[in-house]
Chains A and B, each alone.
Chain A
Amino acid sequence: MIIKVEKLTKQYRHKDGLIDALSNISFAVEKGSFVTITGPSGSGKSTLLLSLFGLIKPTSGKIFFNNAEISNATDNELAEIRQKHVGFIMQNFALIPYLTTIQNIMVPLTLEKIKKNEQWERAMEVLKFIGLENRVNHLPRELSTGQQQRVAIARALVHHPSVILADEPTGNLDPALSLEILDFLKKINQTKGITVIMVTHSPVAAGYGNLKIHLSDGHLSEQKVKESVLVS
């Protein structure tokens, strides 16, 4: 089991009182799973995704990563876990605008203080994997949206993470590009054994998951397991 969530609750303070963004969510994810989180807008999908590795601090509940509790980890410890074990893919691509393709991909390795030569080799390796080796020195604005999202995937992969968190990765793409990106994620999941947890609105995208979590109003309303996924 790579991730286990126990009674996760997140409340936001509002002038009318406390609002439950997440309420007593519990589930577990096996290593190598492809998890999709679906639900209507405001159901807490992104909050759940971002709470997993400390980008949002939960109000209560426990989160385990590789059987170690990380819900009480310090800010620096969580940053280190994200740096070494987690890749992020966002709807808005989250590329740094003044860095070229290769430089954007090397950022996680820079934060890990990997040597320059190794940074370059690993970045080129993932660039070839996503088929953008001819766009090495292009700035994000010089790439199409599909290419930008592939660069974001490359950046998420370059440090060999064990988990990839994807928040609406196809939200800004047309259907054809969406399928291309989803196929990429499936390929990563199947060939590299990386666990993928993806938030999506799209029923097509949701179909890629072997564990499907559906949220409504911050509650886990449904879990469907296709293959070897544990549910508590």
Chain B
Amino acid sequence: MTELRVSYTLDSTLETVDSAEQTASRIAAESGFDEDVVMQISMAVREAAVNAVLHGNAYDPEKKVKLDFERTGNDLVITIRDQGKGLDLAKIPDPLAPENLLKTSGRGIFLIRSFMDEVQIVPSQTGTEIKLVKHVHGPSADVKEASQ
């Protein structure tokens, strides 16, 4: 897989959410992931972007969302940072608990964790950073490993 590093600084708008999803879809497809995995990656990025725009930056026009894509030989790593007050991980309910099943929100982080191989969430007082990793399991990874 060809190495790549791109970075975007985006406004805290709904357009950013769509743009992040579309960019993730394109880069995942270019990276050789199959259609289902491309969908998973783009959806995880969309959910992370929603969290950044809506819950992190609260649509504040002064605050930005930073979106980084890094493609290495074995991984696609996507990092999304907001400038909000920092996500309180302890306050995220389990959306699969019976008492939460009929809640209308609270599934975003769960979906992100379901779709990605690794998820790191680092909240701080100056914002939240979420790092999403998808491993390459396809032929390109095998070829690379075989040549090492």
Whether both chains belong to one complex is answered with no
* Partner-A contacts on B (CB < 8 A): none
Binding site for B on A (CB under 8 A): none
